[in-house]
Structure 1
Amino acid sequence: MIMEDALTLEMRDAPKELSFLLSILRNRDQDQAILPQEAADMDWNLFMKLAVHHRVYPLVYLALKGSDTSLIPAYVMQSLQRHYHNNTIKMLHLSREMSRICDVFAEARIRSLWLKGPLLALHLYGDVAHRTSKDLDILVDAEDVEKAEQVLTQLGYEAEEEIVLGNWKKKSHHRSFEHREHFAQVEIHWRLNPHYSRSFSFEQLWQRRREVRLSSQTYFCLGNEDLLCYLTDHGARHGWFRLRWLADIVRLLPLLDNSRLNQHLERYGGEMYAGQAFILSSLLLSAKVPHDLEAATVGAKSYRLAEKSLYYIQRIVQLNPVPEKSVARHYNRYLFSLMSGKQRIAYVFNKLLPSSRDALQLPLPKPLYFLYVPLRPFLWFWRRMKQPSV
């Protein structure tokens, strides 16, 4: 049994609006009525901010509309309904773009694995409208990245950041694109994780892929065990500052082959990230973690990481793409606690490498590009100073 008491004390400082939100999310089958005392004396504006910030408003709306809504102010239900309908339209729009991109990728013979987005919503929740997604994340072989970018350009997408220096594949693991007319966003990934995290090769992931049919079209996604490793690594790196990611873990748990996952983690690593996710999903969302998974993943390091991530879950913070100044120091310490010694060295080395952002900030002639190496710390510091405080 996961020792929830080790973390319960840390949740005593959580606002009651967050506790109420967690109570709604725990009632996954909507088989329990909302108790009047739970909804009493609520700061409903804060409740809505939390539901939107954590990107769980579709689940909240579905749960509340089946309850006694006399306990909920009318404007709250109207706001939830509006957010839910807007998300439905957004997910249908992303689904259409997903279909269009998939067709063109197939014509160009680009193998692709679809991460998150409408397919993850369908896989975990049974309906694309029950989960939010900002964009489409697509993993391709590193050798196909340039070809994929050309295809997106032909479809009307533009890269959000211009490439000047040639080390961009080493500096990052994805590039972001936005459509010029309808503003759909797409991320092309060539690694699942940043270079300082252990990542599977595309061929390994492709061999373990899962096939999904949607609207008479075939897509390929990560196998469930690879998906668990990807989601827990992603959630850990972002401090689980959105409850949506933990809700995904709760839904994915019953779909896993536990024996295969344990072998997977033993061979490739990631036990402490999985353990952190299992502890948090058990504590906050009453997830039922199988004993064999718990025994293989939940250790002292997982507990420490779970406790540290509660700092972000209990606050409304932004950690992506860069952490707010108010939490940056705390987050950097947390990020280092996720890494091994080798990963820390790789992380620091990567930060010291110049980027295209440096070249755009201070354009130099190509023969002088070598100067970006000693200038990198100063340019990075200048950007941080210009970042607004929150």
Structure 2
Amino acid sequence: MDDVSSSCTRSIHLINSAEFKLLVALTDPAPDKRQHEIADAVQSVGTNAIDWKHFLQLVSWHRVVPQVYLGLVAYKDNIPGNIFNQLYRSNFKIQRISLRQSAWLVKISQLFESNQVRFIPIKGVALSQLLYSDSGCRQSKDLDIIIDCADVNTAEQLLTEKMGFKRKHPPETATSEEIDFLNRCTKDRVYQHPGDKIVLEVHWRFLTDSSILEVPFDELIKSSMQQQFHHQTLRILSYDYLWLYQSLHGTAAGWYRLHWLSDIAKMLVSFKPDWHRLLKMADQYHCQKCLFEAVCLASQIYHIPIPEAFYSYKQQFWQQRLSTPLALHLLSSAQIQSFFIEFWRRLFWMPKQYFCLYLLYKLCQRPRGSVSWYRQHPHRYILYYLLRPVAFVIRRCWIR
């Protein structure tokens, strides 16, 4: 308990630091409030209150370079020249990557459309275009799309044979039995283009725990919206499903990057849903607590009022707030959640019956990283399940 208390105290100190406050001000979704907060924060430069080296580390870790650069352009005379030049170079590099990602997304859309493969972009440049009206305003490291599980092999054939992508996961050496196993137990395949180094993740479910936000793909297509993206019409998630996915993704990861919360804050300000309908949907798909945590954290960091509809779920809402200090600790200290923090947090946000399944999955079935440890004749592939707990113990205890 002392360790938890000290972590929470340290988190409060880091969140109240001048560097983190400036970062929050630069990513605030409310323009008027943002300009006022940026001006106040930059004025403190004269008192040497900002450690610019630490600030740049935070900007890089939280993947908010474009927003920070655009916000500081008007104040570049108040900022050390070498700091602003580093931001300029980083932003220029990210804009070039965003342009390449956008070009590839258009090419993939055209190829899939001509071969009757339906897909929906779920993050990346398409989300940036939707939220910020600029495909380069939101920093992203890869492209993410979701397709029907029945089209996974067709999509892979098109990507590898027509576009030159190489599969990174599962590895190209994986057997058909291993791939079938991974299709049942994971949520995506990862590809990379050897020329542009663009990474593409092809999902067929939102989360590895298939019981959470398990939405039929036909329902996603039926409810989807259309978006103009570089002269190409794309299907994108409806606002309701976008809310649920963004909340689930951030909660499962532990909210250790600010750009996930800045997206939630932007949606809180500019894309307000019918909260009663959304809360019912979240309950239906077992991710209501994820939605509670997303809104709670965004409102706490960006000082946005919590929707009144949440207070009709007082018990669930306040229970979920118990896990937010751990998320704040990960966010402020710039670290990925360990297995034990993930374990503790999932106690709060997962329904209890699914938490038990999650434990079983972690101990016995999670194949990433150890699927190629043991190769057997297909009839003896069941032995993999016996070796899996050993691999788990080695990875968690010895390798670290």
Q: Relative to structure 1, is the Cα distance of residues 228 and 142 closer, same or farther in structure 2, using a 3 angstrom cutoff?
A: same
Work out whether residues 139 and 188 of structure 1, in 8 Å CA contact, stay in contact via their aligned partners in 2: yes
Whole-Å separation in 2 of the counterparts to 1:144 and 1:81: 41
* Equivalent residue for 2:240, pick from 225, 229, 252: 225
Matched, 1:131 2:133: no
Report the Cα distance in structure 2 between the residues aligned to 1:27 and 1:76, rounded to whole angstroms.
Answer: 24
* SS of equivalent residue, structure 1 residue 231: helix
Q: 1:10 to 1:133 in 2, by over 3 A?
A: closer
Q: Distance in 1 between matches of 2:255 and 2:306?
A: 18
Contact 1:271 1:296 in 2 (8 A): no
Give 1:201-212 correspondences, 5 Å limit.
201-212=216-227
1:339 is aligned to 2:356: no
Among 379, 384, 388, the residue aligned to 2:391: 379
User: Which range moved further: 155-164 or 225-234?
Assistant: 155-164
Distance 1:184 1:301, change over 3 A: same
Q: 1:89 to 1:382 in 2, by over 3 A?
A: same
Tell me, yes or no, if the aligned pair for 2:147 and 2:203 is still in contact at 8 Å.
yes
- What TM-score do you get using the length of structure 2 for normalisation? 0.86
Question: Which of 99, 106, 112 pairs up with 1:99?
Answer: 106
Cα deviation 1:153-174 (Å, max 9, x = unaligned): 1111111122332211221111
Structure 2 partner of 1:198: 213
Aligned to 1:144: 151
> Out of 322, 326, 347, which is 1:308 matched to?
326
Deviation at 1:206, TM superposition (A): 1.2
Distance 2:18 2:128 in 1: 28
- Partner of 1:213, secondary structure, is strand
SS of aligned partner of 2:63:
coil
* Secondary structure of residue in 2 paired with 1:177: strand
Distance in 1, Cα, partners of 2:54 & 2:12: 17
**1:54 aligns with one of 43, 48, 62:** 62
Q: Match of 2:334, SS?
A: coil
Change in CA separation of 1:318 and 1:265 when aligned onto 2, cut-off 3 Å: closer
Equivalent of residue 350 in structure 1, options 341, 361, 384: 361
Query: Aligned ranges for residues 310-325 of structure 1 at < 5 Å?
Result: 310-319=328-337
Q: In 2, are the aligned partners of 1:275 and 1:294 still within 8 Å (CA)? A: no
What does the per-residue CA deviation read over 1:75-119, in whole Å, with 9 as the maximum and x for residues that have no partner?
111111111111111111000000111111111111111111111
Give yes or no for contact 1:354–1:372 (8 Å, CA) kept in 2: no
- Give 1:286's aligned residue: 303
Pairwise CA RMSD: 2.3
For the pair 1:370 / 2:360, whether they are aligned, the reply is no
The whole-number CA distance in structure 1 between the counterparts of 2:311 and 2:74 is: 34
Q: 1:385 to 1:157 in 2, by over 3 A?
A: farther
- 1:264 counterpart (281, 287, 299): 281
Q: Which amino acid aligns with 2:21?
A: S
CA–CA distance in 2 between the matches of 1:167 and 1:360? 12
Deviates more, 1:31-40 or 1:218-227: 31-40
1:177-196 matches, cutoff 5 A: 177-194=191-208, 195-196=210-211
Give the whole-Å Cα distance in 2 for the aligned partners of 1:381 and 1:114: 36
Candidates 104, 115, 118, aligned match of 1:111: 118
Give the superposition deviation at 1:37: 5.2
In 2: Cα distance, 1:294 partner to 1:228 partner: 18
Q: Please give the alpha-carbon distance, in whole angstroms, between the structure 2 residues aligned to 1:353 and 1:36.
A: 50
Q: Which runs of 5+ in 2 are unaligned?
A: 1-7
How many percent identity over aligned positions?
24
**How far 1:16 sits from its partner (Å)?**
3.4
C-alpha distance in 2 between matches for 1:341 and 1:275: 17
Give the aligned residue type for 1:220.
Answer: R
Distance between the aligned counterparts of 2:273 and 2:287, measured in 1? 16
1:385 Cα deviation after fit: 5.2
The corresponding residue for 2:3 is none
Question: Which of residues 14, 19, 44 in structure 2 aligns to 1:17?
Answer: 19
1:10 Cα deviation from its structure 2 partner = 5.5
1:229–1:274: 8 Å Cα contact kept in structure 2?
yes
Q: Which whole-Å CA distance do the structure 2 matches of 1:28 and 1:369 have between them?
A: 55
Give the Cα separation in 2 of the matches to 1:216 and 1:27: 27
Q: Note the C-alpha offset of 1:269.
A: 3.9
Structure 1 range deviating more: 244-253 or 264-273:
264-273
Q: AA paired with 1:178?
A: Q
Q: Which amino acid aligns with 1:318?
A: I
Measured in 1, the distance between the counterparts of 2:43 and 2:292 equals 33
User: Aligned pair in 2 of structure 1 residues 36, 246: CA closer, same or farther (>3 Å)?
Assistant: closer
SS in 2 for 1:248: helix
Alpha-carbon shift at residue 184 of structure 1 (Å): 0.7
SS for the counterpart of 2:370 is helix
The residue aligned with 2:4 is none
Residues 139/27 of structure 1: CA separation in 2 closer, same or farther (3 Å cut)? closer
Distance 1:382 1:228 in 2: 37
Q: For 1:299 and 1:369, how far apart are their aligned partners in 2?
A: 44
Find the aligned partners of 2:368 and 2:206 in 1 and give their Cα distance: 21
CA distance in 1, matches of 2:398, 2:158: 35
Change in 2 beyond 3 A, CA 1:145/1:131? same
